Amino acid sequence: MKKIHVQRIAHFTGHTQALFALCPALQPNRFYTSGADGMIVEWDTQNPAEGHLIARVNAPVYFLALHPQHLWLLAGTSKGNLHVIDLASHKEIRNIEAHTHGVYHIHYLQKHELLLTCGGDGQIKLWNRNDLTLLRTLAASEKNARILTVNPDETQFAAGYSDKFIRQWSLPDLTLLNDWEAHKNSVFGLAFSPDNKYLLSGGMDAILSVWNNTRPVTLFKHINAHLLHIKYISYNPSGNLFATVSMDKTLKIWDAADFELLKVIDLARHNGHLSSINKVMWTDNLHLITCSDDRTAMLWQLEITESNL
């Protein structure tokens, strides 16, 4: 049985409103945050006291994504715009009206010449990765498309919606593979397992659902994982652990092999966040960053031991 010791090793403060977005930077030990204040800030994990403002947009930022090919940072906002920030000059070079409501998720595909976005208009859009021209729109629902995930070999992607459904397509031909009512309310968190065997989902009902990645999809198990909305799900690079974060102010670490809960990280025991945790991002197998409605980000370090008890 795994045992985890956790330590908060950095606290990043300076934003004036809730944080919704996290993204790795080009340089090691650096990352970006943004949120309701529209400020995009670069942080150094080795020097957490000094954040550097690299851009500001005129609406809350829901999602950040790095475009490594062109050294761009993409910011999706509550207004549905996709802002393109040149990281060399820290200047905004394009402002694309991507969705009619918020841009909730952006995914850069390594294998295909594609960029995916989803938004409050219920649409998923596929863009040319090189020049960001719109190629295709998938309009499967009138409710919000809240989250995207792509499987490890980029042969499938899935989206979670506010109509309780998850929909799954093949790549690159965009055949609809699965379409099912997955939760009691909106789906906010979604992640393929690194071995492509499972699709994990979570949402407003606070349930972590594990689905067999088959056609048709079948349920492996439901887990009563949190007390309030599950906001995000993320595997570490090696795939042996995954993390969930929630409106209940907790970060939870799980064993990816048997879905056993290994650690609950919270305010009382670990000096954690004061309010809803909205995103989690692993920087390596034992370090992860969270951001919250409390206007801060935190860096966590895990130490794993094996116990025979």
- pLDDT higher than 90, residue 148: yes
Q: How many residues does the chain have?
A: 309
Across residues 203-232, what is the average pLDDT?
97
Structure tokens at 43: 């942080």
Distance CA 75, CA 98 (A): 11
pTM score, two decimals?
Answer: 0.95
In a domain, 47, yes or no: no
Distance CA 146, CA 204 (A): 12
In a domain, 279, yes or no: yes
- Reported as a single tens digit per residue, the pLDDT across 267-277 is 999 999 999 99
* 218: confidence class by pLDDT, cuts 50, 70, 90: very high
Spatial CA neighbour of 34 closest among 15, 49, 48, 13: 15
- pLDDT higher than 80, residue 308: no
Across residues 185-193, what is the average pLDDT?
97
In a domain, 156, yes or no: no
Q: What is the pLDDT of residue 309?
A: 54
* 155: confidence class by pLDDT, cuts 50, 70, 90: very high
In a domain, 209, yes or no: no
Distance CA 199, CA 42 (A): 31
Range of the domain at 301: 1-15+225-309
Question: What is the count of structural domains for the chain?
Answer: 1
- Reported as a single tens digit per residue, the pLDDT across 103-117 is 999 999 988 889 999
In a domain, 234, yes or no: yes
Strand-pair category, 61-67 with 207-212: unpaired
